Amino acid sequence: MRIGLVCPYQWDVPGGVQYHVRDLADTLRGMGHHVEVLTPAEHEESLPARHVTWAGRTVPIPYNGSMASVQFGPVSAARVRRWLREGAFDVVHVHDPAPPSIGLLVCMIATGPIVATFHAATIRSKWLAAWGPVVRPWLERISGRIAVSDFARRVQVEHLGGDAVIIPNGVHVDAFAHGPALPGRARGVDGPTIGFLGRYDEPRKGLPVLLEAMRTVVRHHPGAQLLIAGRGDPDAVHELLGDDLRAHVTLLGTLSEEDKAAFLRSVDVYCAPNLLGESFGIILIEALAAGAPIVASDLDAFASVLEDGAAGVLVRRGDPRELARALVDLLSDPERRAHLSTRGAQVAAGYDWSQIARRILAVYETVVPPGSGAVTAAEYDGPAELRPVPDGETGDAPLRSALRRWVQR
Ligand SMILES: Nc1nc2c(ncn2[C@@H]2O[C@H](COP(=O)(O)OP(=O)(O)O[C@H]3O[C@H](CO)[C@@H](O)[C@H](O)[C@@H]3O)[C@@H](O)[C@H]2O)c(=O)[nH]1
Provide the ipTM: 0.96
CB 389 within 8 A of CB 396: no
The pLDDT tens digits for 282-296 are 999 999 999 999 999
pLDDT at 399: 65
CATH class of this structure's domain 173-351: alpha beta
Nearest residue (by CA) to ligand 1, atom 8, is: 14
Nearest residue (by CA) to ligand 1, atom 5, is: 230
Helix ranges restricted to H, 250-408: 257-266, 282-289, 300-305, 320-331, 334-349, 353-367, 397-408
**How far is Cα of residue 400 from the mean position of the Cα atoms in its chain?**
28
The pLDDT tens digits for 382-393 are 444 334 444 444
Residues with CB under 6 A from ligand 1: 14-17, 19-20, 66, 119, 121, 148, 169, 197-199, 229-231, 254-257, 260, 278-283, 286
CB 171 within 8 A of CB 154: no
Question: What are residue 66's DSSP bridge partners?
Answer: 63
In CATH, 2-170+354-400 is 3.40.50.2000:
yes
Q: Are strands 91-95 and 59-63 parallel, antiparallel or unpaired?
A: unpaired
For residue 95, report the phi and psi dihedrals to the nearest 5 degrees: -120, 135
**CA of 253, closest atom in ligand 1:** 38
CA of 55 to the centre of ligand 1 (A): 22
pLDDT at 122: 64
Q: Who's near 366: CB < 8 A, 6+ residues apart?
A: 144
pLDDT at 388: 41
H or E stretch including 314?
A: strand 313-315
Stretches in the chain below the pLDDT threshold 70: 63-68, 121-125, 370-400, 402-409
CB 127 within 8 A of CB 52: no
What residue ranges of the chain are covered by domains with CATH 3.40.50.2000? Answer: 2-170+354-400, 173-351
Rounded to 10 degrees, the C-alpha dihedral 196/221/238/298 comes to: 40
**CA of 120, closest atom in ligand 1:** 32
Q: Considering the entire predicted model, what is its pTM?
A: 0.84
